[in-house]
Amino acid sequence: MSPRVSVLLLATGLAAAADVAVLEEIIAKVNGDIVTRSEIERSRQQLLAELEQRGVTGDAVKQAVQEREKDLLRDRIDQLLLIQKGKELNITVDQELSKALAEIQLQYKIADSDKFQQFIREQTGMPFEDYKNEMKNSMLTQRVIRQEVGGRINIPKPEALKYYEEHKQEYLREERVFLREILVSTEGKDAAGVAAAEKKAKDLTARARKGERFAELARDHSDAATARNFGELGGWKRADLLKEIADLVFDKPKGHITEPVRRDNGFLILRVEEQHKAGQAAFEDVESEIMEKIYMPRFQPKIREFLTQLRTDAFLEIKKGYLDSAAAPGKDTTWSDPAQLKPETVTKEEVASRTRRRRLLWLVPIPGTRTSPKSSSN
């Protein structure tokens, strides 16, 4: 018997006997899956940890938990419905998952797989396989949403142009340059080490100019803290940069890569990601930004519409005392407890009577004949 089946039996009433302890409580059934009380409690603990990381304290924690915990069951049902839909659509994310895990391993420069798994356990507090499964489920749900919701929202270009004309003031810009960096450190190195660092920086510059992705080179080879974010530095005004750096990147086209610049802590390579000129931005320069601004207010309601339809079509039961805050209107999710289903019972007399009736059928004349079939005793 599988662990899930044993949990189901215990939680559906068979554990009511005094000598059996309830190991888990099922609070919702979602097609072929279940939601347990411990899953919701785990989500609540994750919420508390998230608030703590954000520096929320005191009464603010209590208020935030009260506001968000009412949706914990909703979120878990959402996830299960999306995972089930992804499997129904034969969506696979195995390659995407392997690539993501490899990128994390490269980012933290942990070559040994066992050490990497230990690192994940230490950072997340969960077994590596559980972490991997959560990543996979997250990717799968995002793919379903993109395919079944996002891919069906179309914004005509004339609508985007109309928005631009009505909101031109929002697209008056100051001069800014958006950058990525790679730093090859020279800290603590002697003359030979500095020379080796300079050679590495020049090699990386050459590779980037030949077409290798600068962001990935930054992730894999940069010694700066920004390596974890693919070297991204964000946007800068000219006055906020050192003059020698500003002179290297301002007025340069998108994609420009500088020569390695000697700094106190190493050799710095910069790439121009975007260049904003001062004044009114042209529609072509902000079209994607406008599309996203129009798209997002439509996207979120459409996700909820999609999830409501999944609920309507699903087998869904929720235990009394628990609430799905996104329940589909008119959907009956009344919990049916198998322990309360009484088996059909009959008396010995009824069984004997049924047997006698079956035997007597042999004595009933067959329509269209003059005689009855011979009894078995003849």
Coil, strand or helix: which one is 263? Answer: strand
Per-domain boundaries in the chain: 175-277
CA angle at 164 for the pair 158 and 169, rounded to the nearest 5°: 170
Torsion angle, alpha carbons of 251, 257, 258, 264, to 10 = 120
What fold is seen in the domain 175-277? Chitinase A; domain 3 (3.10.50)
Distance CA 107, CA 219 (A): 6
Query: Scanning the structure block, which residue is given the tokens 């993109």?
Result: 146
Report pLDDT digits (tens) over 90-100.
999 999 999 99
Distance CA 209, CA 271 (A): 10
As beta bridge partners, residue 179 has: 234, 272
Q: Give pLDDT tens digits along the chain (378 positions).
A: 444 444 444 444 444 444 555 578 999 999 999 999 999 998 999 898 888 888 888 889 889 888 999 999 999 999 999 999 999 999 999 999 999 999 888 888 899 999 999 999 998 888 999 999 999 999 999 999 999 999 999 999 999 999 999 999 999 988 999 999 999 999 999 999 999 999 999 999 999 999 999 999 999 999 999 998 999 999 999 999 999 999 999 989 999 999 999 999 999 999 999 988 889 999 998 999 999 999 999 999 999 999 999 999 999 999 999 999 999 999 999 998 766 545 555 555 665 555 454 444 444 454 544 544 444 444
The model carries a pTM of 0.68
As beta bridge partners, residue 279 has: 173
Query: Scanning the structure block, which residue is given the tokens 């895990």?
Result: 101
Report pLDDT digits (tens) over 169-195.
999 988 999 999 999 999 999 999 999
CA angle at 103 for the pair 98 and 105, rounded to the nearest 5°: 95
